[in-house]
Amino acid sequence: MDDGIELNFAPVSGGVAVRRPAAPKGGRWTDRAKAKRAAKHTVKPQTRSQPVPAPPRRQDAPRPAPVSRPAPPPVTAPRPRPVTHLPNVDPKGKAKADEAPISPARSARATHAPRQASPAPTSSRHNAPPPVTAAGPSRLASAPAPKPKGPAAPQIISSLFSSNPLPKVVKSDHTHVVGAPSNAPLDTSTFAGLGLDPLLVRHLKGKMSVEKPTGIQRSALPHMLSTPLDINATATAHADDEDDEDDYESRTAAPTIKLEPPRDVFIQSQTGSGKTLTYLLPIIQTLLPLSRLSYIDRSVGTLAIVLAPTRELAQQISKVLEQILSMSLAGASDESHMTRWLVSGLLTGGATRNHDKARLRKGVPIIVSTPGRLLDHLQNTASFKCAKTMFLVLDEADRLMDLGFEETVQGIIKALDGRRRIEMAAENGGEDEVAPIMKWPYWSRGRQTVLCSATVDAKVERLAGVALKDPIVFRADEQDQKAAKPKAVDKDVAAALQEANAVTLPQTAEDKFTPPSQLSQKYVVVPTKLRLVALVALLRSLVSVSTKGKENEGTKIIVFLSSTDAVDFHWKLLGRVQMGEQAQPVEDEDEPEDEDGGAESADETEGDATSRKKRKEKATKSAEEDTVSLKSALFQSTNIHRLHGSLPLRTRMASLAAFAAPSESPSILFATSVASRGLDLPLVRAVVQYDLPTEGGANEYVHRVGRTARAGKGGEAWAFVGPSEVEWVAWAEGKMGAAESGKKVRLGQEGVEAVLKRGFGGKGYEYEARATEVQLALERWVLADSQNASLARKAYSSFVRAYSTHPLEEKKFFHPKSLHLGHLAKCFALREAPGALAASSKPAKAAKGTNAASKKRKRTTQGSDADDDDEDVGRGKESTARNETERRMYEAVRKAGRAIRSGGKLGEFRSGGGEFQVFGANDVERMARR
Ligand SMILES: Nc1ncnc2c1ncn2[C@@H]1O[C@H](COP(=O)(O)OP(=O)(O)OP(=O)(O)O)[C@@H](O)[C@H]1O
């Protein structure tokens, strides 16, 4: 039957890989043949039109149970024709009417009357599954939960939409307003007026399009630029010695210059307000004049260190630094020659230490580093010269604390102090014993520590206490400047605070976490089982926003998830899913033997087969790890990227670079909180918090939304909120402070129905059929391959685990007991909750368990078909069941359509019927509560 539907999906690409395994060379031919086979399996075609028949050897000697792979789908099973066309969404978010697809299910939907509000409880994480079904509610109440295992057990799945109304937008007395940009450059001052060197002013304007300072720059720069090195005094000292025959002698004889040590600085300002330039410009301006001194070169060692909590952030800061350091030195007011000794270096975990050491030996005047790697070099690299360090910057202080770097930072400070003492002592005496060294004239200037954070909490104050001495506090706000400028605290108070090892910042409204005023913050209340399709719908409408006329400004969106497993899963799922007739047939795990390998495989033992399988899995994993972008059939010409801390460094960096690169096409980045702090990704138009932060509360929320609406630009933030989590919204609003005093931060609610309609288009309730088709396609993808299924289960388990780690204060919104595990499975494209959840849903203890304990757990769960390590068990049965289930589900949807039509009048629509409203999750829920 042809329903006249045409395909309109972006072709699915195999993804862009960073590197592919090289073709094997040399060695025995058998080794080469094996390697070739492994490589072939690595890059596997995504679909096959027909299952490949198993080799005869396997037919003769069938493998012992358990069955480790699904049987191919029954060829004769009547498969309803799926919707193969999702209309594109126009910039206003409406699907074009003439593109509206037609399918039996959909045409039924298109004619039904609006649904009545049902008195039945709304489907939510709190509530039991909706009881109203075509087959009657009694079935739900009385039917025992189906057993997940065994060929005879029918796989029971739920339809997405029930007769219960979707959560409505709640009318509120307060309005959500988008204000004037609060982190934009100001028109009222100039960099030159703040005391910035004309060379830097020219470079900022000409090469970086930075013309006017932002609020925090205007506030902090005058103080931070006010303690220049007295180069003339040094130069004079040397000029006096000019006649010295031995220049080296004159260098060692340089006088010590008395300098007022600059006060430490605490910079607190909104995300995207330009804190990076606020501390980098003074460092460069202070060190730049040293370029005029002929005896200064890289061998002077390190003079400034910037610490950032993550590799991505360190790399980003290093890039900004390089950009500034690349400025032209010609045309300086003082005509004396300047040398290019001021270079920067990046030290992060993941890079080779030997490479770092070689650079450190040469000397790196400005270092950007992650804390662990820096401390490592301080402790183990003798050639690391850092005694003269004049600046230490702790960027993203709150993240440094969250990631547990307090002790590392303390260690770094101690090590720097130690090196400084030793070198000063060596200069002051012992010239006879050791080789004479250059005398450093700036010891008296000391080391200035700068601490930056967009948000301040008790942990940050503690770090400030550890790292800062008598700090001066800078904020973008005028009022705060006044309070902070003279002296943050008087001497006695400072002494007391120092003793207490804490710095207390002046209490103002700013102590609340302040998001940029121009940011449009929205939330949508989504029933758990609709989460995945609602995400697809939202992303479809966001990427469809036209960026015509703006060259290389394709929309960029970041989606935050709670675990690395969830990131991997959603990236792969949405990047690889295929729609309609393209949909994935079940993959036959057993590849036909390669001709070359035939002779060898005749002797192959079970052990060989196992190791071959392992090799194959390893090769696949490695190729997967290297892939940085995928193209999805769900979002036209959109690149999909991912970022999390478990990816190899090269993939993390490549993913980030690919996402950040200017491009015509839209891009989506699935990320964990690793992307929440400090990352400055241009053109991020929207941030979607699909999983609300499990750590860091409102603070983390503000950092995440701060990835958009930067430096005065607009942006929107979306939060997915479960029906049982709605009170979180008011709580989060209460934690945030508005940039303009007297105002409150409000999140505006958008209806889930509106989101679905915008994303899937169509008239009336057509979006339901389209959402259902998308859901089924996603579920098919999961079931098509054991690795996909494993990924889905892991993501599911990790979600539950992460969910239970919400801090006590937030437990009232995010209690694991309120999770409806059956519905939750749906949003991981699983048709039922994985049985292993009983073990994995006691997260706190299980996750913290010892290795031995986890090994024991693994052992005890072996053989269970839900265990990740043993996922293949029973897959064949599962596969057969899924096809049968899918067929029945389509049939039920069709029947609903027929019933509506046959009455000759519009009937009340009930999506799905009978079994499709029944969930098999009760048992699992009970297990999870144990
Ligand atoms: N004066 C300025 N004029 C225009 N753009 C600026 C100015 N200062 C900084 N920017 C730009 O604003 C963006 C955000 O800057 P930056 O990353 O330093 O913000 P931040 O305050 O450190 O944010 P976060 O707290 O999120 O780390 C960058 O792209 C930067 O180039």
How do residues 716-772 score in pLDDT, each as one tens digit?
A: 999 999 999 999 999 999 888 776 666 788 899 999 999 999 999 888 888 999 999
Cα–Cα nearest to 481, from 268, 676, 749: 268
Cα–Cα nearest to 344, from 311, 308, 306, 294: 306
Q: Which pLDDT value is given to residue 650?
A: 87
Same domain, 537 and 401: no
The backbone region for 396, taken as left when phi is positive above 0, alpha when psi lies in -120 to 50, beta otherwise, is: left
Residue 610 lies in a domain: no
∠ CA 660-661-667, nearest 5°, is: 65
Tokens, residue 923:
């048992």
Same domain, 458 and 535: no
Tokens, residue 320:
């900004």
Same domain, 412 and 541: no
Task: Output the CA 901–ligand 1 centroid distance in Å.
Answer: 59
Task: Output the CA 721–ligand 1 centroid distance in Å.
Answer: 30
Element (H, E) at 218: helix 215-224
Task: Output the CA 274–ligand 1 centroid distance in Å.
Answer: 3
With a 6 Å cutoff on the Cβ, whether 289 touches ligand 1 is no
Residue 777 lies in a domain: yes
Alpha helices in 444-584 (DSSP H): 458-467, 478-484, 491-500, 531-543, 564-576
Same domain, 472 and 568: no
With a 6 Å cutoff on the Cβ, whether 210 touches ligand 1 is yes
Residue type, 668: I
With a 6 Å cutoff on the Cβ, whether 680 touches ligand 1 is yes
Q: Which pLDDT value is given to residue 911?
A: 33
Residue 820 lies in a domain: yes
DSSP string across 254-265 = PPPP--PPPPPE
Give CA 752 to chain center in angstroms: 24
Q: Which pLDDT value is given to residue 621?
A: 67
Cα–Cα nearest to 737, from 516, 457, 502: 516
Provide φ and ψ at 923, rounded to 5°: -60, -45
Residue 741 lies in a domain: yes
Residue 632 lies in a domain: yes
Task: Say if CB 825 and CB 789 are below 8 A apart.
Answer: no
Residue type, 772: T
Same domain, 537 and 471: no
Q: Which pLDDT value is given to residue 668?
A: 96
Task: Output the CA 345–ligand 1 centroid distance in Å.
Answer: 21
∠ CA 442-445-450, nearest 5°, is: 130
Query: What residues of the chain score a pLDDT lower than 50?
Result: 1-14, 17-21, 42-84, 91-154, 235-254, 478-490, 493-502, 507-510, 586-602, 836, 838-890, 892-930
Strand partners, 347: 369
Length of the chain: 930
Same domain, 675 and 783: yes
DSSP string across 102-151 = --HHHHHHHHSPPPPPPSSPPP-SSSPPP---TT-HHHHHHSPPPPS-ST
Q: Which pLDDT value is given to residue 287?
A: 95
Q: What is the 3-state secondary structure (H, E, C) of 711-768?
A: CCCCEEEEEEECHHHCHHHHHHHHHEECCCCCCECCCEEECHHHHHHHHHCCCCCHHH
Segments forming the whole domain that contains residue 363: 198-228+260-329+337-426+442-479
Q: Whose CA is nearest to atom 27 of ligand 1?
A: 678
Nearest atom in ligand 1 to 320's CA: 31
Q: Whose CA is nearest to atom 25 of ligand 1?
A: 271
With a 6 Å cutoff on the Cβ, whether 275 touches ligand 1 is yes
With a 6 Å cutoff on the Cβ, whether 185 touches ligand 1 is yes
Residue 659 lies in a domain: yes
Q: Of the residues 818, 839, 860, which one is the last residue of a structural domain?
A: 839
Task: Output the CA 272–ligand 1 centroid distance in Å.
Answer: 5
Same domain, 518 and 387: no
Q: Which pLDDT value is given to residue 521?
A: 94
Same domain, 459 and 561: no
Cα(258)–Cα(478) distance, rounded to whole angstroms?
Answer: 33
Cα–Cα nearest to 393, from 291, 463, 494: 463
Residue 470 lies in a domain: yes
Q: Which pLDDT value is given to residue 409?
A: 96
Crossing angle of helices 371-380 and 353-362, rounded to 10°:
70
Note the pLDDT tens digit of each residue in 50-62: 333 333 333 333 3
With a 6 Å cutoff on the Cβ, whether 277 touches ligand 1 is yes
The CA-based dihedral angle spanning residues 669, 671, 673, 679, taken in that order and rounded to the nearest 10 degrees:
-30
Nearest atom in ligand 1 to 278's CA: 18
Q: Which pLDDT value is given to residue 910?
A: 35
CATH number at residue 671: 3.40.50.300
With a 6 Å cutoff on the Cβ, whether 877 touches ligand 1 is no
Q: Which pLDDT value is given to residue 172?
A: 64
Provide φ and ψ at 391, rounded to 5°: -135, 135
Count of domains forming the chain = 2
∠ CA 687-689-690, nearest 5°, is: 125
With a 6 Å cutoff on the Cβ, whether 465 touches ligand 1 is no
Q: Say if strands 519-525 and 304-307 run parallel, antiparallel, or are unpaired.
A: unpaired
Cα–Cα nearest to 452, from 473, 480, 477: 473
Cα(38)–Cα(46) distance, rounded to whole angstroms?
Answer: 16
Task: Output the CA 301–ligand 1 centroid distance in Å.
Answer: 29
Same domain, 763 and 676: yes
With a 6 Å cutoff on the Cβ, whether 271 touches ligand 1 is yes
With a 6 Å cutoff on the Cβ, whether 575 touches ligand 1 is no
Same domain, 645 and 764: yes
Cα–Cα nearest to 724, from 859, 817, 607: 817
Rg (CA), the chain: 31
Give CA 98 to chain center in angstroms: 38
Q: Of the residues 839, 874, 892, which one is the last residue of a structural domain?
A: 839
With a 6 Å cutoff on the Cβ, whether 273 touches ligand 1 is yes
With a 6 Å cutoff on the Cβ, whether 276 touches ligand 1 is yes
Cα–Cα nearest to 376, from 742, 367, 402: 367
Same domain, 393 and 347: yes
Q: What is the largest CA-CA distance in the chain?
A: 110
Nearest atom in ligand 1 to 277's CA: 18
Cα(865)–Cα(871) distance, rounded to whole angstroms?
Answer: 5
Report in angstroms the alpha-carbon separations of 34 from 25, 441, 574, 589: 12, 65, 32, 17
Residue type, 541: S
185: CB partners within 8 A, 6+ apart = 210, 211, 212, 213, 214, 274, 711, 712
pTM listed for this prediction: 0.69
With a 6 Å cutoff on the Cβ, whether 710 touches ligand 1 is yes
The dihedral through the CA atoms of 857, 862, 868, 869 has a sign that is: positive
Cα–Cα nearest to 825, from 526, 524, 528, 525: 528
Same domain, 207 and 317: yes
Nearest atom in ligand 1 to 212's CA: 1
Cα(65)–Cα(81) distance, rounded to whole angstroms?
Answer: 35
Q: What is the 3-state secondary structure (H, E, C) of 39-60?
A: HHHHCCCCCCCCCCCCCHHHHH
Give CA 26 to chain center in angstroms: 42
Cα(776)–Cα(159) distance, rounded to whole angstroms?
Answer: 10
Task: Say if CB 761 and CB 90 are below 8 A apart.
Answer: no
Residue 278 lies in a domain: yes
Report in angstroms the alpha-carbon separations of 729 from 266, 643, 659, 717: 30, 27, 30, 13
